Structure 1
Amino acid sequence: MLLGWPWGRCSAGHCALLLVLALVLDALGLVLLLLGIFAALDYWDFFVYSGSLILAFSLLFWITWYSLNIELPLEKLDL
């Protein structure tokens, strides 16, 4: 019942575009980071640094997606 539905039903929420963008940036950043670590290249540092920056940038989309999907009943807002 963590997501509000019985049996763990899950959905992308209201902002599916942000979720997809965060997942794509995570995949791209991980590929670049692993390429820089494991490939025998002279310019490996470019891949390591750019991959880690892309991963850090994807955190902004994860935080935005999560924040926009918080649902709170009006009774609990104490307005």
Structure 2
Amino acid sequence: MLLGGPWGRCHVGRCVLFLILALLLDAVGLVLLLLGIFATLSYWDFFVYTGALILAFSLLLWVIWYSLNIEVSPEKLDL
């Protein structure tokens, strides 16, 4: 229903680069975080902290992607 719904085509927006980077950082951060939690390593804290930092940075990219995709009509801008 997403692709042919009543609201039109589903698209990822204008800033595909930020979306891809955010998704990539989400995947890498989650893998590192879970590796640090579940693997029996003596340096587990490095993976936990690095994964958490990467996930926090990916949140910044998600906010940038969302902010750049906000569409405002010219009537609301009073141009």
TM-score range, shorter chain: 0.7 to 0.9
Q: Distance in 2 between matches of 1:8 and 1:28?
A: 33
The number of residue pairs the alignment matches comes to: 75
CA RMSD, 1 decimal? 1.5
Q: Distance in 1 between matches of 2:12 and 2:33?
A: 27
Which letter does structure 1 place at the counterpart of 2:27? Answer: A
TM-score relative to the length of structure 1: 0.87
TM-score relative to the length of structure 2: 0.87
Residue of structure 2 in register with 1:55 after alignment: 55
- Structure 1 spans left out of the alignment, 5+ residues: none
- Structure 2 spans left out of the alignment, 5+ residues: none
Residue of structure 2 in register with 1:73 after alignment: 73
- For residues 9-28 of structure 1, what are the structure 2 equivalents within 5 Å? 9-28=9-28
Does residue 36 of the first structure (1) align with residue 36 of the second (2)? yes
How far the C-alpha of 1:8 sits from its partner, in A, is: 6.7
How far the C-alpha of 1:10 sits from its partner, in A, is: 2.0
Deviations 1:42-62 (A, max 9, x none): 000000000000000011110
- Greater than 3 Å deviation, 4+ residue runs: none
